[in-house]
Amino acid sequence: DRKKLHTAPVRQVFRLRPFHILVATGGGYAGYRKYEDYKLEQLEKSGIEVPVKLASEWEVALYKSVPTRLLSRAWGRLNQVELPTWLRKPVYSLYIWTFGVNMKEAAVEDLHHYRNLSEFFRRKLKPQARPVCSLHSVISPSDGKILNFGQVKNCEVEQVKGVTYSLESFLGPHICTEKLNFSQAPTGNSFQQQLVTKEGNELYHCVIYLAPGDYHCFHSPTDWRVSHRRHFPGSLMSVNPGVARWIKELFCHNERVVLTGDWKHGFFSLTAVGATNVGSIRIYFDQDLHTNSPSYSKGSYNDFSFISNNKEGIPMRKGEHLGEFNLGSTIVLIFEAPKDFKFHLKAGQKIRFGEALGSL
């Protein structure tokens, strides 16, 4: 009898032990990476150039072993829990102090107004807090930090200086120009050439990282027409600059929503990249989009055309509300423009929604 009493619990512990070890090891390594990121930030602030050191395949696999999708869904449910009125101010004040949130810009400054963390994260701003620049053709779609920008070269895009990812892996297979109603593109062999619809134009990119303390909504960066949405289920690894410097093709691993269409100069796309605790990406005009679903097929994607349901697509005006994150993540712009397009940016600078990115 004594053997029966002891063998059942031992077997149960043995079944669970591999999972616990995997989570503990992966979580501990993720914590170690956070500490390393902090040291790198301190070196950069001191003006010391940090050499790029990419993660090996086993390090990426170990990081991916952390159940970030499950944790992000749990975090999302926790965010929906209504806080007692007496607890709201202490909880939100701690968050404000930790991440440097400027509540004077919020449409509602009273912390007792926000029933849960989700409402607080998605707080709206006062109308005059973010004036939209009218002098430049492309504005910042969100608050954040500029990680990288410039011309796309050799079908590779820089996520941070010295670390690239494949343009085709990031956007997925090319969509026929006839479906998007673009002007006929010049014939080209490379994926990059297929995206350029007008001869003499170049392809440009800009990466904006949204920190947890930033304004969490994002807006239309220019006047354009959204024709297509492509949703990539994937991992939800951190996308802070330290991790982006460490993991090659990080944005291709993570869940993301790619909106493609056209503006006056040709191809235009905006991609919202998910991250840890940011499983929820919402696009206001797309009610069929559901991110961080419990069931997904690795390496898959699903498409939705706004042309077939609405012949004109979805017209967006510069500065118009487009979507939101649940906590903060990354926006990647990839677009076509003439060769004399100029960015008005510096890598690493802080930027706010409505400020100029670039113009002709």
Catalytic annotation on 1?
no
Instruction: Spell out the per-residue pLDDT of the chain, length 360, in tens.
Output: 555 544 445 444 444 444 444 445 545 545 555 566 566 666 666 666 556 678 788 888 888 778 777 777 777 788 888 999 999 999 999 989 988 888 999 999 999 999 988 888 888 888 888 899 988 999 999 999 998 999 998 888 888 777 888 899 999 887 754 455 554 445 557 888 889 988 889 999 999 998 888 888 899 999 999 999 999 988 888 887 778 888 888 888 888 999 999 999 999 999 999 887 766 788 999 988 888 777 666 667 889 988 875 567 899 999 999 998 877 789 999 999 999 999 988 888 999 999 999 888
* Amino acid occupying residue 210: L
Structural domain of 147 = 138-173+192-359
300-322 residue pLDDT tens: 788 998 887 556 789 999 999 99
Contact 234, 255 (CB under 8 A): yes
Is residue 131 included in any domain, yes or no?
A: no
The predicted structure's pLDDT at residue 230: 94
Angle between helices 57-64 and 2-45 (to 10 degrees): 120
Question: Which of 205, 219, 228, 253 is the catalytic position?
Answer: 219
Interatomic CA distance for residues 215 and 105, integer angstroms: 10
- 33 occurs within a structural domain: no
The predicted structure's pLDDT at residue 118: 83
Is residue 282 assigned to a domain? yes
**69 assigned to some structural domain:** no
Note the pLDDT of residue 178. 45
Among 118, 137, 143, 262, the active-site one is 143
pLDDT value, residue 352: 93
Q: Is residue 22 part of a domain?
A: no
- The whole-number pLDDT of residue 51 equals 61
pLDDT of residue 297: 66
Q: What is the pLDDT of residues 4-60, one digit of tens each?
A: 544 445 444 444 444 444 445 545 545 555 566 566 666 666 666 556 678 788 888
Domain count, the chain: 1
Question: Is residue 306 domain-resident?
Answer: yes
| Cβ–Cβ under 8 Å, residues 106 and 120 | no
- Domain assignment present for residue 34? The answer is no
